[in-house]
Structure 1
Amino acid sequence: MDQDLVPLGEAIRRLRKARGLTQEDLSGLTELHRNHIGGIERGERNITIRTILALAQALEVRPADLLADYSL
């Protein structure tokens, strides 16, 4: 787990659960493998901007909302 990636993963998990989605559901909406989503949520995967955009679209939020827990 990379501590720099944890806030992003926690935001994705929180938003996914708030929308009543499973990792499998989110996988279908983003075309990412369920295991990949699990790794993102655990802070194990350093993802691309393209993946952030796909997740934000699937979760119906702005990409910035996924990064809101980061401070300068």
Structure 2
Amino acid sequence: MTTSLPERIGAVVRKRREALGLSQEAFADRIGMHRNYYGAIERGEKTMRLDTFERVAMGLEIEAWRLLKDGAG
């Protein structure tokens, strides 16, 4: 079964968040997002708009293009 792009990006986002030592709740709070919505992003259930994608990347202290590149893998 092929993994969708939102699922692959969600996995990259989760890995980066965990590397920063942050819980989903702490990270969602850090970027001003509801934790349920953020959790859906990590699970690949939500396709992010570009502004949301940039907000997540900034919170993860990484360039947005790197997240996309790593998720496109």
Query: Is 1:21 the counterpart of 2:26 in the alignment?
Result: no
**Cα distance between partner residues in 2 of 1:14 and 1:68:** 14
Unaligned runs of 5+ residues in structure 1 are none
| TM-score, reference length from structure 1 | 0.89
* SS in structure 1 at match of 2:21: coil
Unaligned runs of 5+ residues in structure 2 are none
**Cα distance between partner residues in 2 of 1:66 and 1:30:** 16
- Amino acid of the structure 1 residue aligned with 2:65: A
CA drift of 1:7 comes to 1.1
| Higher fraction of helix | 2
Judge which range, 61-70 or 8-17, deviates more. Answer: 61-70
**Cα distance between partner residues in 2 of 1:60 and 1:35:** 21
**Cα distance between partner residues in 2 of 1:58 and 1:4:** 20
**Cα distance between partner residues in 1 of 2:5 and 2:47:** 9
Q: Deviation string for 1:6-45 (max 9, x for gaps)?
A: 1110110000000001111111111111011110011100
